[in-house]
């Protein structure tokens, strides 16, 4: 004969059992998450290989900027021209590349200067500066009453019939210029004294056309 017993579990005891069952699950979840976080932190970072084209584009951009800055500075302080007339031969021949400095326009005798006449750039030699009295006689170029000895000038210096009146006194901020090819050069014998502020600058280098 089977006997039946009724067992009643108090409500508080049932709640405690459910909590005891859940707590280990929650602890395991937290521990698992901690393990994943630690593994992620220790995992090596794989760097992407650098892009050759991106590096090349960056290099080209830097070169372009440097060239642009250099060109801007050079154009402000310096200038370049290709000589197209024979009036400064043999010092500067037609086709030679002439480099000049724009900022210093305080010239000395024998300096080569760049100037513009009738829309054309030309190179000429300073033979007299402010305060000098220039004359051209049958003997040649005379400055302050002294005949000038110019060993590098192979042609005689003479006046032009349609040129300026001489003698002439060079005023402040002016120079008197001549071409080295004295026979037929267009220079101060034709257009007179030159204001230094109207010049392009002092010649600093001449590159011969045969060297280009």
Q: Which helix (H) or strand (E) holds 43?
A: none
Running DSSP on this structure, what letter comes out for residue 200? -
User: Are β-strands 168-169 and 146-147 bridged in parallel, bridged antiparallel, or unpaired?
Assistant: unpaired
Distance CA 140, CA 136 (A): 6
Instruction: Please tell me the predicted confidence (pLDDT) of residue 177.
Output: 98
Instruction: Please tell me the predicted confidence (pLDDT) of residue 172.
Output: 97
Structure tokens at 154: 């192979």
* Mean pLDDT, the chain, integer: 83
* Centroid of chain to Cα 90: 31
Distance CA 212, CA 202 (A): 22
Give which of 177, 166, 169, 171 is closest to 199, Cα–Cα: 177
Distance CA 160, CA 145 (A): 20
Running DSSP on this structure, what letter comes out for residue 210? G
Residue-wise pLDDT tens digits, 77-136? 999 999 999 999 999 999 999 999 999 899 999 999 999 999 999 999 999 999 999 999
In this prediction the pTM is 0.67
Instruction: Please tell me the predicted confidence (pLDDT) of residue 73.
Output: 79
Other C-beta atoms closer than 10 Å to the C-beta of 52 total 8
Instruction: Please tell me the predicted confidence (pLDDT) of residue 6.
Output: 52
Q: What is the C-alpha end-to-end distance of the chain, expressed in Å? A: 128
Give which of 193, 190, 192, 187 is closest to 172, Cα–Cα: 193
What are the residue ranges in the chain where pLDDT is below 50?
A: 1-2, 4-5, 7, 13-15, 17-21, 23
83-211 belongs to which CATH class? Answer: mainly beta
């Amino acid at each position: 004969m089977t006997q039946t017993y009724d067992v009643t579990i108090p409500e508080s005891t049932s709640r405690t059992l459910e909590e005891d069952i859940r707590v280990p699950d929650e602890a395991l979840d937290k521990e698992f998450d901690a393990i994943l976080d630690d593994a992620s932190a220790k995992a090596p970072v794989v760097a992407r290989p650098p892009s050759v084209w991106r590096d090349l584009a960056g290099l080209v951009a830097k070169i372009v900027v440097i060239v642009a800055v250099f060109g801007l500075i050079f154009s402000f302080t310096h200038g370049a021209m290709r000589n197209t007339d024979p009036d400064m031969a043999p010092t500067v021949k037609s086709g030679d590349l002439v480099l000049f400095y724009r900022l210093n326009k305080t010239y000395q005798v024998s300096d080569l200067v760049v100037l513009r006449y009738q829309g054309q750039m030309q190179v000429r030699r300073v033979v007299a500066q402010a305060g000098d009295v220039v004359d051209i006689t049958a003997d040649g170029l005379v400055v302050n009453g002294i005949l000038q000895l110019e060993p590098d000038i192979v042609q005689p210096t003479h006046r032009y019939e349609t040129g300026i009146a001489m003698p002439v006194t060079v005023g402040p901020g002016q120079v008197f210029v001549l071409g080295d090819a004295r026979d037929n050069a267009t220079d101060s014998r034709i257009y007179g004294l030159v204001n230094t502020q109207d010049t392009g600058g002092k010649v600093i280098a001449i590159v011969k056309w045969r060297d280009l």
